[in-house]
Structure 1
Amino acid sequence: MILIVIFFTFVRNPLGVKSLNVFPHAEQVGHFILYFVTALVIILDYAKSRLPHHSKINQEIAIAAMSAVLALVMEIGLMFYTRGHDDFQSENVFAAALGAAMAFLFYHFWLLHPFRHYLYHSIQHHWRYQHRRKKKK
């Protein structure tokens, strides 16, 4: 997922679009969505690896913060790589950091229990099935 973010950040016009009429601040909305999805996928992957135990909230916050730091580093890289040295777009960094923070809040307040309930019961079922098969042999 991080490689996809890096690719779409540094490659100029990866889809070959000549011009696209979009609404104002579409770039910031794109940053918000991209970093929301990136942080959410990484947090969900971390939470899945911690099952059947709860994931630690400080680790989830650290993942969201690292996504925001990634946005800052990418924007600094863009400033030196593709644009002029004076063209730092703090709005993009803010939108990306807000997307990462919202991913943490979305997971922690709305997705935590359904996610754990679904995966925990599927893991328990799998463990019981494997345990029964071993007893029969």
Structure 2
Amino acid sequence: MQPEPTGRVHRTGEDSYDLVLTRRLAGSPREVWASFADAGQASAWIGRWDGTPEPGSGFGFQMLYEEGQPTSQARLAECVPRERLRVLMEDDGGSWDLEVRLRDDDGGTRLEFTQHLADPAPAEDTGPGWEYYL
């Protein structure tokens, strides 16, 4: 039996879509932010990066559970500590526009993960992967 997908695709424009997955986490936004922003914590669940991810800067990013563990070229497009992170990545699989938003949720954190898409079809392939990582 396959798990029920939680991600949903929303049309956001004539040629734009968002795949959105939401999670409620027990930690505070500060604690959850550290799981993305601290290299040691991020490498334990999603992947490693080379360089210093700063707004506008480029860096290498290697996701932990991808076949062959290729390194993607990434750029930190937007960063509001403890609130919002947007990363643009490119690899052999294409371009990725990814966003994470954190909100306080009654002592925990509401995490909203978004993959911005020009076509909704790739969500069928990428959605299960994001479900796994989250």
What TM-score, normalized to structure 1? 0.23
Which protein has the larger Cα radius of gyration, Structure 1 or Structure 2? 1
Higher relative contact order (CA 8 A, sep 6+): 1
Going by fraction, where is strand more abundant, 1 or 2? 2
What TM-score, normalized to structure 2? 0.23
Going by fraction, where is helix more abundant, 1 or 2? 1
